[in-house]
C-alpha cells in the first residue's frame, strides 16, 4: 500500500456500514456530512482509536500501565497510521490563544524538535541560514558594490515590550553613538523614550562604512564586535 495515504477497509464502528476510504497523509483533510452520517465514528472512533492503540502497544509494559488502553475498533484493515492526537470538539481550554500544540501539551516538544533538527530560512529571501565565520562575513560584505554605504549593527532586543532606558544608558557609557529602534535611527546623545506597552526591536550601530574605502581589518573588527554584542548575530544594512 502507498505510504502517502491512510487506507481504511471494512470500517463498521457504530453507524459505519462497512466502508472503505483512502485519506492522503500530510494534508489538511475535512470529513463532513449530515448529523449521524458517521463523521466522528470514522475520525475519532476508528482512525484515532486504532492509531492510539498501536502507539500504546509499542511502548514498554511499564509505560503502558500509566496510559488508558483503547479497544480495537470494528474494522477489517487500516494501514499508514502514525501516532495520533485527538482534540475533543468541546475544547477544554477557554483561552482564545490556545492552539493544538498548547492544548495537547506538545508545543514545547515541537519547539525543541524544530530547534534541534530544523533548517532555518530567511523569511525575506528564502535562503537557508547557516553559521559563518568572521572571514566569511567580511568576504560577503566586501562583495557589496563599491561605494555603497553600510551600517554594521548588533541586535540587542527583538520584539519585546519595555522602555529599555538602562540598555541605552549602558550603550552611552560604552561609547556608542547611535541605535536603530523599530527601523528608525536615534542619536544616543538625544533624549527619547519608548512606549513600554509596545514591542520594540533595538540594534546598536557598531560602525558605518563605505565599501571600497574601508580596509578589511576595520570591517573584521566591526563584525567581531557586533557578534559579541549580538550574541552571535550581526546585521549589515545598506544605507540608501
Q: pLDDT per residue over 64-94, tens digit each?
A: 777 777 788 999 999 998 888 887 766 556 6
Residues 6+ apart with CB under 8 A from 15: 36, 37, 38, 41
What residue spans define the domains of the chain?
A: 5-86, 92-118, 134-239
Rounded percentage of the chain residues whose pLDDT exceeds 70: 97
CATH class of residue range 5-86: alpha beta
Which residue's C-alpha cell is 503502558?
64
Is pLDDT above 50 for 98? yes
Comparison of pLDDT for 135 and 91, the residue scoring more? 135
Q: Average pLDDT over the chain, rounded to whole?
A: 88
Residues 149, 66: Cα–Cα separation, whole Å: 63
Residue 63's pLDDT is 74
What confidence category does residue 54 fall into, taking pLDDT thresholds of 50, 70 and 90? confident
Residues 6+ apart with CB under 8 A from 99: 107
C-alpha cell at 91: 475544547
Residue 93's pLDDT is 62
Quote the radius of gyration of the chain (alpha carbons, Å).
28
**Dihedral angle over CA of 83, 87, 88, 94, nearest 10:** 160
Is pLDDT above 60 for 4? yes
- Superfamily of structural domain 134-239: Ribosomal protein L1/L10, rRNA-binding domain (3.30.190.20)
Measuring CA to CA, which residue among 147, 142, 138 is closest to residue 210?
A: 147
pLDDT tens digits for 15-34? 899 999 999 998 899 999 89
Residues 53, 69: Cα–Cα separation, whole Å: 7
Residue 61's pLDDT is 81
What confidence category does residue 238 fall into, taking pLDDT thresholds of 50, 70 and 90? very high
- Strands (DSSP E) found in the chain: 5-11, 19-24, 77-79, 149-161, 178-181, 184-187, 199-210, 235-239
- The answer to whether 202 and 208 are in contact (CB under 8 A) is no
Amino acid at each position: 500500500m502507498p505510504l502517502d495515504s491512510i487506507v481504511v477497509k471494512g470500517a463498521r464502528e457504530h453507524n459505519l456500514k462497512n466502508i472503505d476510504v483512502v485519506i492522503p497523509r500530510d494534508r489538511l483533510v475535512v470529513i463532513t456530512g449530515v448529523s449521524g452520517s458517521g463523521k466522528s465514528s470514522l475520525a475519532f472512533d476508528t482512525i484515532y482509536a486504532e492509531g492510539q492503540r498501536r502507539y500504546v502497544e509499542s511502548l514498554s509494559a511499564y509505560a503502558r500501565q500509566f496510559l488508558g488502553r483503547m479497544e480495537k475498533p470494528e474494522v477489517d484493515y487500516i494501514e499508514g497510521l502514525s501516532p495520533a492526537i485527538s482534540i475533543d470538539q468541546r475544547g477544554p481550554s477557554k483561552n482564545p490563544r490556545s492552539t493544538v500544540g498548547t492544548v495537547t501539551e506538545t508545543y514545547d516538544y515541537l519547539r525543541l524538535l524544530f530547534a534541534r533538527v530544523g533548517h532555518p530560512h530567511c523569511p525575506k529571501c528564502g535562503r537557508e541560514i547557516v553559521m559563518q565565520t568572521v572571514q566569511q562575513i567580511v568576504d560577503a560584505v566586501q562583495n557589496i558594490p563599491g561605494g555603497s554605504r553600510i551600517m554594521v549593527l548588533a541586535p540587542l532586543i527583538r520584539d519585546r515590550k519595555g522602555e529599555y532606558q538602562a540598555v541605552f544608558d549602558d550603550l552611552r557609557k560604552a561609547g556608542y553613538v547611535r541605535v536603530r529602534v523599530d527601523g528608525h535611527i536615534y542619536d544616543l546623545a538625544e533624549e527619547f523614550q519608548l512606549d513600554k506597552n509596545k514591542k520594540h526591536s533595538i540594534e546598536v550601530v557598531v560602525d558605518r562604512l563605505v565599501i571600497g574605502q574601508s580596509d578589511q581589518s576595520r570591517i573584521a573588527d566591526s563584525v567581531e564586535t557586533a557578534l559579541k554584542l549580538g550574541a552571535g548575530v550581526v546585521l549589515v544594512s545598506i544605507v540608501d
